[in-house]
């Protein structure tokens, strides 16, 4: 599987968590990927599933940007696993959030 396809799936697995938390807050908050890095440990073939377990990092950043008006950043990791349960790639995304007045 081409690396760009893996990157899009990995970003989606983190971004959907950020989007959901912003929606739950009821506030106008912008979000953007500021940086990312990736590593590939095995050729990605077949069905690859991307999972992010860092959803707990989002709320503190949202609370702080709403309280201060300052932009906040946090890193979230997504791992791509093949059908045999082997990690084939790992992506880290630096998300930025900022409360819009």
Query: Domain limits of the chain?
Result: 3-99
- pLDDT tens, 42-87? 999 999 999 999 999 999 999 999 999 999 999 999 999 999 999 9
pLDDT above 80 for 1: no
**CB contact at 8 A, 28 and 86:** no
The pTM for the full model equals 0.93
**CB contact at 8 A, 59 and 32:** no
> How many C-alpha atoms does 29 have within 13 Å on its Cβ side?
30
The matching CATH number, chosen from 3.30.930.10, 3.40.309.10, 2.60.40.10, 3.10.129.10, for 3-99 is: 3.10.129.10
């Amino acid at each position: 599987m081409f690396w760009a396809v893996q990157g899009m799936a990995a970003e989606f697995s983190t971004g959907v968590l950020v989007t959901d938390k912003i929606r739950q807050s009821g506030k106008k908050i912008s979000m953007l990927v500021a940086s990312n890095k990736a590593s590939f440990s095995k050729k990605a073939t077949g069905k690859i599933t991307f999972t992010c377990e860092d959803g707990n990092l989002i709320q503190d950043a949202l609370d702080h940007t709403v309280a201060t008006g300052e932009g906040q950043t946090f890193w979230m990791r997504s791992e791509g696993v093949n059908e045999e349960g082997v990690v084939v790639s790992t992506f880290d995304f630096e998300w930025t959030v900022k409360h819009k007045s």
